[in-house]
Amino acid sequence: MKTRVLGKSGLEVSALGLGCMGMSAAYGRPGDRDEMISLVRHAVEAGVTFFDTAEVYGPFTNEDLVGEALQPVRDRVVIATKFGFGVDPATGARHGLDSRPAHVKAVAEASLRRLRTDVIDLFYQHRVDPAVPIEEVAGAVADLVAEGKVRHFGLSGAGVGTIRRAHAVLPVAAVQSEFSLWWRAPRTDLLPVLEELGIGFVPFSPLGAGFLTGKIDATTTFEPDDFRRSVPRFTPEALEANAGLVDLVKAVAARKSATPAQVALAWVLARAPWIVPIPGTTKRHRLDENLGAVDLELDAGDLAEMEAKLATIPIVGARLPEAVLKMSGL
């Protein structure tokens, strides 16, 4: 497995990480726990060293799963988790944002227990809390770093102004945000700032929540608790309108003897050497397929051809429900 370094942080990870959220939440029924633990350990044996979770995935259950899966190989892996929501510890009910310093520190302690570790490698603020100055948030994480409980600070879904302010207090190792052939906006404002500041980029949903695999079309149905049921971009009408994007990755895949998913991931990887996507899956064969993207080279001609065709394909539908976009700042 090839590796990459997240910006100037010195944090070296596998070129492709594993997003673990879908093992416990968001995409319908959670996976069988034993099977998911086996999948995470298979990823380690395949060379993956970067695993992404959060307290709200489940909530709590995903951190516990990841912690159990990685405990035997803790010294070989990098674990990223997140704080920033208020979550009732008894019921798991989420009640808004909460990045007050005392809460950040309490979440860290709870995450350490669930992850079965004495240090969090990368601790992201999950969503920016407008009620708490980012300087105070960065200061709280700096305290955790000084105590040896956190190694690196990250931000998820933050704007460039917030990133600059946080970075001035405590170096930000990585920023996480959605990025894929289906959502390319970060190229305009976010990526130039990250390059300027030497911050790594960790794209989530690099496969467009499954759309870019070519396995979803206007006839696809989703389970009642699958978040895509509420996403405008996943209505049958939008899926049909956006089919040209899938046709593009399929055409490149055929020429490259690859799969559409591998092409979509290779396109993200080709943006910059400090970008590490974290596609998620609950299936071993999909994990193995995704890892094949690391060795798929899209040359300058391939990328130029894709850019020219992308310019002719209008994307239909919002990428998240309006309420989520408003609340999260994404």
Residue 51 phi, psi (nearest 5): -125, 135
Give the pair of three-digit tokens for residue 7.
């910006």
The predicted model scores a pTM of 0.96
Q: What is the DSSP letter of 27?
A: B
Question: Does residue 252 belong to any structural domain of this protein?
Answer: no
Give the pair of three-digit tokens for residue 127.
């969503």
Q: What is the DSSP letter of 303?
A: H
Question: Does residue 42 belong to any structural domain of this protein?
Answer: yes
Mean pLDDT of the 175-189 span: 97
Active site residue 57: yes
CB-CB contact of 99 with 155 (8 Å): no
Q: Helix H segments across the chain?
A: 33-45, 61-70, 101-115, 134-146, 160-169, 190-197, 236-241, 243-256, 260-269, 284-291, 300-310, 322-328
CB-CB contact of 7 with 208 (8 Å): no
pLDDT, tens only, 275-302: 999 999 999 999 999 999 999 999 999 9
Question: Does residue 302 belong to any structural domain of this protein?
Answer: no
Q: DSSP string covering 228-255, please?
A: GGG-GGGSHHHHHHTHHHHHHHHHHHHH
pLDDT at 28: 87
CATH number for the domain spanning 36: value is 3.20.20.100
pLDDT, tens only, 13-49: 999 999 999 999 889 889 999 999 999 999 999 999 9
pLDDT at 329: 47
Question: Does residue 34 belong to any structural domain of this protein?
Answer: yes
pLDDT at 323: 57
Catalytic residue among 51, 57, 204, 211: 57
pLDDT, tens only, 197-255: 999 999 999 999 999 999 999 999 999 989 999 999 999 999 999 999 999 999 999 99
Residue type, position 264, single letter = A
Question: Does residue 124 belong to any structural domain of this protein?
Answer: yes
pLDDT at 92: 87
Number of CB atoms found within 10 A of residue 27's CB: 21
Alpha carbon 132 to chain centroid, angstroms: 24
19 membership: H or E segment, kind and range: strand 18-19
Alpha carbon 315 to chain centroid, angstroms: 21
Question: Does residue 121 belong to any structural domain of this protein?
Answer: yes
Q: Please give the Cα distance from 233 to 138 (Å, whole number).
A: 34
Is pLDDT at 327 greater than 80 in this prediction?
no
What is the count of structural domains for the chain? 1
Q: Please give the Cα distance from 135 to 262 (Å, whole number).
A: 39
Q: Please give the Cα distance from 102 to 123 (Å, whole number).
A: 15
The domain of 287 spans 3-206+272-296
Question: Does residue 61 belong to any structural domain of this protein?
Answer: yes
Question: Does residue 324 belong to any structural domain of this protein?
Answer: no
pLDDT, tens only, 131-173: 999 999 999 999 999 999 999 999 999 999 999 999 999 999 9
